[in-house]
Structures are given as structure tokens and as C-alpha cells.
Amino acid sequence: MATNILVADQETHFFGDVCKNFDHAAQFTKHDAGLLDQIKSCNSVYRFRFPIRRGNGFEVIDAWRVEHSHHQSPTKGGIRYSEMVNEDEVMALAALMTYKCAIVNVPFGGAKGGIKINPKNYTVSELENITRRYTVELIKKNFIGPSIDVPAPDYGSGEREMSWIADTYATMNPGQLDAMGAVTGKPIALHGIAGRREATGRGVAIATRECVSVGEDMQKIGLLPGLSGKRVIVQGLGNVGYYSAKFLAELGAIIVGLCEFEGAIYNENGLDVEAVFQHRKATGSVLGYAGAAQEFTNTMEGLEQPCDILVPAALENQITVDNIRNIQAKIIVEGANGPTSPEAEAIFYANGGIIVPDMYANAGGVTVSYFEWLKNLSHVAFGRMNRRFEENSNLNLVNMVEGITGVALTPMQRSTIIKGASELELVNSGLEDTMIRSYHEIREIYKSNPDIGTLRNAAMVGAINKIAVSYQNLGIWP
């Protein structure tokens, strides 16, 4: 009996943690209790099971789709493929998606999905069957559609799975003009968008850069402003962690530590992210990399090494009261969803640290998913209509300036100035603008009231206020 209670407690803490953060932030708003309850609660929780054929027998798969908030339509959120997934986790992630979208001003409600499998245990054919059957179950209950609920990749899923979902939805809805808008994170060849794959990691890097750019805040924690020379440890070499580390290095940071489930490596002089990634691809482990000065078979030890910034970009609940006092970083930037427990966060802030919260830091993915959704609804790639017009206009301007000044530009200078923006450049520009504006909006709320205490609370306050306005404007029907 005690064991069952313990397991139940372990499986039902994540949504409770999100609600704790919500309740604390709600104290700094002026909305009535009923409206706050509406914002906090999950509107729709769909739990279902379906069979698949395996060999000569059957296997029953558990799955979920949760739509947390309908203050904006459609709802939006990834599908997680993991044998650890459970209803509480999916509800928590759906709630975080609601707040995340509000924070970065993306007009979606929050949703999330989960399929309780380990993808490594299935063939490609079996994964396709599972994904297509999951999609059909969503279609049957009206839980997917370009104006209803738009899934995306998450832990354990990617472009391949999104392609299967898109094809299944289009097949089940013949003639629907906007069918490809029913899912994002698709490959470019299937109406995806340039920059989506790396968007979350790029957003994490931009969020980190914005945090350390504020001299006043850095002075308080004993760091110089700017990313140049900052020592960074990244947990996770999946899509988010790899691109976070890659772009942070490009922005001038030194990646001193990389952690994965099989272990961690550290070198105070820096690690070559791409070389480590290729080493792991070839050997299946970060351990054994020639450029590592230290190795740890216990991956959690890797988080506790000397650094300025720690980027947990793996799974939730990685930083707790058990290890927070051993963390030497002064800034934690949450690339993953829910990597820091509320109790650990309180200790970290009490010791003078800063945490850039997940609901903002990893919002790059949903931001570029929004761009992909817009592209699918408009049926035209960004830049296609105006790129040549911009280049001709720029060319005329350059010719005029050269004629007036008598100074001829080099071919390289001319091409740089004249070139119109590609889809990737426009996407990256839109993402960067979103992340910059959102961080300083959060920081303004944080600075406006010392009692708010953390950037997470400030982000949540901003999200609650925006969602409340939406619900108030919608009214109640009937």
C-alpha cells in the first residue's frame, strides 16, 4: 500500500508544481477567484487506449491529449513519446504551453499530447502505425485540426512523426485546403518552415544572451555583462540541448560541460560541441571523447561542475533540493520543461542566483511553429512574394549612392547590401525579436514589484494578465 502511494505521489507532482507557481503569481494580479480558476484548470483531458499488432499478437498503447485553455484558438502543443509519460505530466505541459504562448504573444491556447512508449523498442513500421492510429483517435474526438488543436514534435518525436500525422489528417479530411496546418514541425518538403528544427535551441541562446546583457543584474551576481567568455554547462544533446550549445558557442560562450543520460564530460578550457555530438553519434556515448578533461558516469555530477550558466535541456525535475546546493552556476536557463523544482528555485534565488524560466526560455519552438502555421494557412513561403522586389530596390539605391559619391562598392559589399531576406532569415529575425521583447517585458514586471521575487513569477503574472483579458473579452456563452 505504501509503495503504491509513493508511486502515485511521484507521478502527480508536476501539474501541482505548475499550479503552485500559478497560485503564487496570481497574488500579484487583481482578477477574481473564478476567473483565475478558469485560467488554471485544464479544459479538456482525453485519455484513450488503442491496440496495435506486434508479431502474432497485440499490444495496447496508452495515450493522452490535453487542451488546457481555449482563450485562443487553436490550441497548440507537442506530442511526447516516452514510457515515462503520464496524465499529470501531459496536463502540466499543456498548462505550461498556455502560459508560454501568452508570454511570447503567440495567439494559441496550450495543449499537449503523450504516447506511453519507448520509441527505441519499436520498428519504424510499428511507430508509423502507432502515430497514425493516435491521429485517427484525435480526429474521431475533434482533438486535431488547423483551427482546433495543432500538435508538434516533443521528446521522442520529430519531423518524421509529424509527416505521418499530416498525411493521416489530410487523408481523413479530403479536400480540406488548410490540412497541412493541422500539425507543425514538418519537414520542409512537406510544407514545413526553415529554422523550425533549431528554433527552440536558438531561442534558449537568445534568452541567455538577453539575460546576461543587463549590466545591473549581472553586477548583483558578480558577473560582467555579455556572453563572451561565459562558461556554460548544457544538459542534454538532443535537439534543444545541441542547438542551445551550438548557438551559445557562436555567441561567444565557452561550453565547458555536456551531460547526457549515460554520463557527462567537462573541460574548463571548452568543448567542441559538434565534435562531441559526432563522437556520441558514432559511439552512443559522450564518454570517451578525447577532448574531455573529466568524465562522470553519474550524469548529475556534470551539472555540479564550475560554470557561470547551467542550461538543463533534457527532462523535468533534474534540479531539486537534493542537488541545488551543489550547483555552482549563477544563472540557470531552462531549456527543458520543468527542470527545476519550486523548492530548489527558492534556495537558488536565496543564494543570489537567477533562473530564466522554461515558459519563456524554450518558447522559440512554439514561436516558429506559429510562423509555420501562418505559412500553411497562407500557402506561400515567407519572402517569396517580395524578395526580388527588395533586391531590385536595394540595387537601385546602391547604384544611386555610387553615382552620387563616385565610390564603387566591391562585389561582396554590393551582394551583402542588395540581397533580399530568405525565409530562414525572416524566421530567425522574427524569433529574435520575439525573444528580446518578451524577456524585457518579463524583467519590467519583475522590477516593478520586489515581492514578485523571481523571473518565473514575473512571467506568470504577465501570462495571467494577458489570458484574463482574453477571457473577459470573450465573455461567457450561453
Which grid coordinates are listed for 199? 528554433
Residue 117 burial (10 A CB sphere; 0-12, 13-18, 19+)? buried
Instruction: Establish whether 369 is an annotated binding residue.
Output: yes
Q: Is 220 a catalytic residue?
A: no
Instruction: Judge whether 273 and 249 are in contact, CB under 8 Å.
Output: yes
3 is in an annotated binding site: no
CA angle 156, 160, 163 (to 5 degrees): 125
Half-sphere exposure (Cβ direction) of 412: Cα atoms closer than 13 Å: 0
Under 8 Å between Cβ of 345 and 456: yes
69 is in an annotated binding site: no
Tell whether residue 29 is among the known ligand binding residues.
no
171 in a known ligand binding site: no
Provide the 10 A C-beta neighbour count for residue 79: 30
Collapsed DSSP state (helix, strand, coil) of residue 230: coil
Residue 241 main-chain phi, psi, to 5 deg = -65, -45
In degrees, rounded to 5, the angle at the alpha carbon of residue 111 between the alpha carbons of residues 106 and 112 is: 125
C-alpha cell of 471? 477571457
Which of 40, 112, 230, 330 is labelled catalytic? 112
Active site residues: 112
Mark the binding-site residues, compressed into ranges. Answer: 76, 100, 200, 239, 369
Return binding residues for substrate. 76, 100, 369
Binding-site annotation, residues for NAD(+): 200, 239
